């Protein structure tokens, strides 16, 4: 897959985002595309950069480190979208601008500490597990406010919103209730948030269901397969 095919896929994805936004009475400019690069080679990420992608999402710190070393620094914004272990927070601060998967206070403390050491402010989202699946990461909905309040006490972090992953399902419509619940949770938490916390971002929706997510209020959609094709599993 070359830059022309990636560019064509991006145009199709952006058009689908725009159509979904219009159906929901929203402006397409409200939605940010995060290109997911798990198991995507660095040369194809470079092609996506050339095609105009501005945000990338990685699941693993080690994989991100190798790719960023190969790509060099760029103006792209990098999101951590996989579960973050506390012993990887220092690397995460170096590699990522946004950590979407905060689900416990220990991660907030470690991110804040390492960000302070390098003079960086890291944006974070609280990942919420709305399905109750034990195999999924994320805090329970009732813990979200406590994590937001803790994040607000961290000088080197900025809590910008919420993130969720619905159960895997071939039918996009079955993801709609989870997206609607995250938006409702965000709207209910906003009046309770500490001063200065806007909680504007809702990261939800992937290649199979991003249009439904946009209709339900997503501000960030995490899309890999629809841009890069079926990913090759790491050997």
Give the pTM: 0.95
Indicate the fold that domain 3-228 takes in CATH. TIM Barrel (3.20.20)
pLDDT tens digits for range 100-115: 999 999 999 999 999 9
Q: Are 126 and 159 in contact (CB under 8 A)?
A: yes
pLDDT value at residue 234: 46
pLDDT tens digits for range 24-37: 999 999 999 999 99
Q: Are 95 and 65 in contact (CB under 8 A)?
A: yes
Give the whole-angstrom CA distance, residue 206 versus residue 221.
Answer: 6
pLDDT value at residue 233: 54
pLDDT value at residue 235: 39
pLDDT tens digits for range 41-96: 999 999 999 999 999 999 999 999 999 999 887 789 999 999 999 999 999 999 99
pLDDT value at residue 1: 64
pLDDT tens digits for range 132-160: 888 889 999 999 999 999 999 999 999 99
The b-or-e profile of 5-15 (16+ CB within 10 A means b, else e) is ebbebbeebee
| 171 or 75, which is more confident | 171
Give the whole-angstrom CA distance, residue 40 versus residue 59.
Answer: 11
Mean pLDDT, the chain, as a whole number?
A: 95
């Amino acid at each position: 897959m070359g830059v022309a095919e990636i560019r064509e896929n991006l145009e199709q994805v952006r058009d689908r985002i725009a159509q979904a936004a219009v159906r929901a009475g929203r402006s397409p400019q409200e939605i940010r595309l995060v290109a997911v690069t798990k198991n995507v080679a660095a040369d194809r990420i470079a092609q996506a950069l050339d095609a105009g992608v501005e945000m990338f999402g990685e699941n693993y710190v080690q994989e991100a480190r190798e790719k960023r070393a190969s790509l060099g620094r760029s103006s792209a914004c990098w999101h951590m979208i996989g579960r973050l272990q506390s012993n990887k927070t220092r690397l995460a601060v170096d590699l990522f601008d946004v950590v979407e998967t905060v689900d416990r206070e220990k991660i907030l403390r470690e991110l804040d500490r390492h960000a302070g050491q390098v003079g960086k402010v890291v944006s974070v989202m609280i990942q919420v597990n709305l399905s109750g699946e034990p195999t999924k990461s994320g805090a329970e909905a009732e813990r979200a406010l406590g994590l937001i309040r803790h994040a607000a006490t961290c000088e080197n972090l900025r809590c910008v919103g919420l993130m969720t992953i619905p159960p895997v399902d071939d039918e996009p419509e079955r993801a709609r209730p989870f997206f609607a619940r995250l938006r409702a949770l965000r709207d209910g938490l906003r009046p309770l948030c500490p001063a200065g916390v806007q909680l504007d971002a809702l990261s939800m929706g992937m290649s199979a269901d991003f249009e439904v997510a946009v209709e339900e209020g997503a501000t960030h959609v995490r899309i890999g397969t629809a841009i890069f094709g079926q990913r090759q599993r790491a050997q």
